[in-house]
Structure 1
Amino acid sequence: MGRAEDRRARRRGGRRAAPTRSSAAPTGSSAQEEPVTVVGGRAAARRAARGRGRAKGKAGKDGRSLIRRMFTWKKIVGAFFGMCLLGMGAFIALYMMIGIPKGNADATLQSNVYQYSDGSLMTRDGQRNREIVGLDKIPKSVQRTFVAAENKTFYKDNGVDLRGTARGLLNTLSGKGAQGGSTITQQYVKNYYLTQNQTVTRKLKELVISLKLDREKSKDYILAGYINTSYYGRGAYGIQAAAQAYYRVDAQDLSVEQGAYLAALLQAPNQYDWAIASDTGKKLVKARWNYVLDNMVEEGWLDKAKRARTTFPTPKPPKAAPGMGGQTGYLVNAANNQLARQLVAQGTADNVNDALTMVNQGGWTITLSIDKKKQAALEKAAKSQLTSKLDPKKRSVDADVQAGAVSVNPKNGAVVAMYGGQDYYKHYRNNATRTDYQPASTFKPVILAAALDGGAQTQTGKPITAGTMYDGTSRRPVVDNGTKVGFAPENEDNASYGEITVQTAMNKSVNSVFAQMGVDVGMKKVLKVGGDLGMDTSKLNARPAQTLGTMGASPLQMAGVYATLDNHGKKVTPTIIKSVENSRHQVDLPNPIGDQVISREAADTVTSVLTGVVDDGTARVSVRNNAERDGRKVAGKTGTSDENRSAWFSGYTPDLVTSVGLFGESKKSGAQVSMHGAAGLPRVNGGGFPAQIWAAYTFGVSRTGLKFDLDTTQGAAVRPTYSQTPSRTPSQTPSRTPTSESPTSQTPSRTPSRTPSQTPSQSPSQSPSQSPSETPSGGGVQNPLDPNGGQQP
């Protein structure tokens, strides 16, 4: 038995304790006791180890057990269904409580009142441009374009898109804004029964009313309501007004192509209006037009062969609304657009389209920042200096010249005057706010500001200052760390200047210098500073060609850039709205004066340099020598784009900033064209008509006796300016005198600038004894006489 028990114990791994010794066993029987004793010892050790492990893990197991007991799958599922039931109950309660209200869109429409800054009446916007037409007056194919554009399941759904609505609610709660998803029924409910306000309450009401409306009314009733209440832009509410506004026909005579455009337009009327759309806007609306027609083919509503034959129906030019003639229409639209953007920014509306609908529903009293005296002066200057000299009967190109201008108070950002074109009735698009033309050389101060603000150096390691020397040779290849970047810009008239200072390069607007400077600074830095100052550079790819101002910009944006320079580097965002009143909506206008975006020293140095453009550069004829100047201190910059499609002058006194742009726009096609030959001149330059308009206006309304309060030791405003003798003969003698002022071979002038704000203690008695014989391939050369590393000669 003993051996059998031992075998069983060994098979059990020693878990069995050693058997009690029998009294009959011999006392000296060690042969049987030894193996049992060993097995029993191992078993005890294992039991002790397991006991210690259980003791250590007991607390953790107790905690996990508690969590398991609290969050069992049954409890989780139960909680989920409980929340679902609670939500369903709440929705049922809402459904019982909310009924279909009476339509209030038409009942609450009022005129908007627009006032000048002094509170005097500018205009009222008159009656709504709306005419309700029955669905039987709208061709079936045109009806379906709206369904194809907005809601392909319209004829099958129950009036709501639960997924889209849930997404909208989450976006509203999280502050992300709307992302679409509404059905035609929901959009009609929002337009006619509710408001455009972006709130959770409105979205829930929209959902409930849409469900009820879909049950109580026919799809045709809802579609007719949607088509007749939507806003199509150009002041047109409803399809009948839209058909007249865009195609000069009644709704019943619309083609499927025209209907598809109007349906596409509803997504963004302001952006997709062909008359004012940017190139991007035109591409987007064409893409959406194609999307609408393709959806119709997919749904079996349009024959594929007919679809293949369709062509885009270009809308006709707009007609201005009554009471909007002259500059009034431009001012009203600019104010409406700014108000709409603010409504979106503060979360009152989902998007600009909804916000414009809110504005056009009326009931607003909008006081503009426009000063009546300055507005009249700007209009008079444009007429006397430009439009009176244009004669389309003699020269067809004269009909293609458009002008825009914006004047801003740099201390508070108020737009005190705006010129949008010769007449809102004749030219619908506002030239003061359009961004499709190049600002050209008016961008050069941005490059210098970026260099000064960032403490940039030339590629030879010298600080970039007003006195830094650069090679002004025309078509000089731009290099980056000794490598040519494939860009060699031509100076105006292909004039070469040899070694010149940054100050002289700004005065004469030398492209080759600023192209190299832009690479020295870094084009990403340049574009960032441009954006900080007020330009729209966020989507631009950094490349050297942009040093010539090849991006788009508006007079409004450029006025903001130069106002920020005038305001010592504190951001100025021009605003045309002084105050807003409405009984249903609260509008919080932001402060036009923002943070310090570049250092004061950098901004003031740019201002100082720009005084040289007026006194010794491309603007001297129109501005410096103007009889009405009366000692005013002036800084500014001219600009003329490639092929003379645009010409600019942006300039400022201590109390007023004004940007003037001329644009070549074909009267027939609206395409950008050259202004060569306009008014009988070979070329329209920034120092010509734009500077003349600027001077006639500014010297008539700005204060005299003011000085620039500059924190800088550089530039033409604080020390004498000189014209330097080129170190070598220009590579090419211009065939005619450059309009921007050709380089001259003369000894340095000892006459101080005509507008210094302080007199230097001592002027250099002579030009530098030695000019660098060759500019390093990396860029600028430093003048050894400059205490900052670059004294201008």
Structure 2
Amino acid sequence: MSPSPLGAGPDEPHGRRGEAQKILTKVAKKRRRTNILTAAAAVLVILLGVGVVGGTWFFDDVELPADRQEVQNNVILFANGKTLAQLGDQNRTIVPEGKINPIVKHAVVAAEDKNFYRHNGIDMKGIVRAAWNNFVSDDLQGASTITQQYARYAADLKGIDVNRKLREAVIARKLEDRYEKEDILGRYLNYIYLGDGSYGIEAAAQNYFKKSVLTAPGSKNAITPYEAAVLASIIKQPEADPNTGHKGYNPRENFQAAKDRWDYTLNNMLEEGWITPEVSAARKYPKIQPLKDTRCKTCADDKPVGMIMRHVKAELRALRISETEFKRGGYTVTTTIDPEVQKAAEEAGSHDSESSPMNKQNKKKVQAAVIGIDPKTGRVLGYYGGDNPTGTDYGSYVNGDGTGFSGRGQSPGSSAKIYTLAAALRENISFKTTWDGTKKRANGTEISNAGRTPGDICRGRIESCDLETSTINSYNFPFYWIADEIGRDKVIEAARDAGLEHLWPDEGDPVDLTKTDASTWKQKGYFDNEVAFGQYHVSPLEHAQGVATIVNQGVRNDAHFIEKVQAVSQKTGKKETVWQAKAKPKKVFEPDHMSNLSAVMAKIPGQSGNNLDGGRQSMAKSGTWEFDGGSGDCWYVGGIPQLAATVWVGGAGNKVKLKEPNGGEMFGSGTPAKIWEKFINAVAEAKDMDQERFPPRVETGDPNHEAANGKKPVAPPEINLPPNPGQGQNPICTTLPALCPGNGGQNNGGGQNDGDGQNDGDGQDNGGPGNGGTITFPDGEGNDTGTGGGQVDADRVDGGG
């Protein structure tokens, strides 16, 4: 059987040869011959301008198709340049016609339409010759010129009947009237299919020879005449046709037929004077490169990292690169995602990771989110929002197309107290201010603190509990009264400045904090003072942005996933940067205030038993919010100077009561803190991070601020104690342990060295080693014995969920 009679013109959109060919019966063959002759005659009539069928009415009725934009691949890269995702169905790179090596164009014309530069879109000699050959033999020919082939593709003409051939001819003539020959040829070269998944001449040159058609003649690695002839010879039929049995002209699949076609092309090039007799005589079939494995081994398909694509789409839209424009392709997007940080996030937060604290949780019921941000730049380095990239994004609840939210976020609980503290420090409130835990709300209700009795709070000093102790142990009442005294709008304002852009009221849509102010926030039905300890839902990603601002000592860098966008220039054919992320740090909190806050938060990891490897300094805050009498949302947030880390654990879909693997109730300093610790340790090791420290503490604020409502603590009477004969052996200490803060052992009465160079001596008995035994606290954080007292997420009993 002979090859496809359709020449270079595919009947299908991608230009594959012979796919529409049917096994023809003798009757069908005869009918086809008649149709081709009729079409040829009709075209001739049109060209002569006579007859009813070929009148100007028909010619004018056929519209010229709109310019067709070829689709190219888009490539999404990790920060290190490795491929994260490949988007698009066609491996195509558009190249400007004027930059294509002339020898490539000459080879294609020689192979497909030798008279291209001499006809006006229709080769009448070719039509007559093809019609006669079709009539007298089985060697079916289509006689389509390059212009006709492109006309058929551009107008999306199907089938092989007379009407299609007639319209194809008319469009070809109109194309020749509108465009120069070189323009038509350039469009053709960018659309043709050349086998092995290569669309367009540039993709084919890269595929078969690892060369570019844009390399100037005479330059190193420029396409040779022999290589150009190989590419041109494939066009006629790039793949095997199961209907005809012809294997096509791909040299990897059908070498002898490909070589015969190659000789034909070179002979035509010689005849047209496009190669010299010497070049022709020295012909040698060039080496074809092995077929490259196009499978992307680092790509995001069906992997957790695929969740990042919806954030890429959202940011592209914000950059005014529309989805339609992006789908045309040709873009290379470099993300901020560091593969090592991403791996650490997934291994820390995914059920599928055997080393993850989530491994023993019920995958269908409990889910985690892990977000790592470079606080100095805002780059999102690692993002784990679930194992299914097309499912719920637990890291932000953003829709799959990146437009808006598909959920209501989660209650941050006590982790939101970092914003209340930032607001309080702005108002000159000191960590030494005291607060009264017995004071009730205006409606007479108590502010609960995880069910602890007054004697359990602040070592029995519930009426004069200082803000620092309240922060470390996560009591609620000072935060409620701070919001009440300075205004809850000040708390929301601080959260907004740090990075929270949306906040959900108990019912209804999220409130855009960047487009509203106190006049909205203080309205009935929006937010009450409980905003100070995390009742209202937030997006984990936005919360992570706020956490990064606190870690960065009050300087905000907007969190982002895209670092650079490049596009192929239509003029040069080269990648050009169309957008580059630029650092825009904004100081939103005073450095002294943040050093003060950091020093207090730096005490929390030790309190909850989550110190990092090697004594690396960190700062943190836990958070838990109630659901159904237990915990429904658990958080651990904070980080080190080089990495802000935010971890959430909650229900996968519907809320559930969160339990630890041992059956105990989960709190922020439990599984979330373990995930946080594992994540930061892994990143610090993988990136070989220096042990940076937060700035030395500067204590700010007025200890006697008028907003504080606690009683002044009464100093204990001075008592002259006899010398302590040994650890834990002083009889007075045994009888009145409260009078011996050091308790005869190591200085654990709050005197831990917190990395700020101060022995803080806040007088707490932390139940640690050297305290004369084990002390039990109803701490609400699962650290009831001998681990430093644990943190208390008192917020969880105050409703919400």
Give TM class, smaller chain.
Answer: 0.3 to 0.5
More helix by share: 1
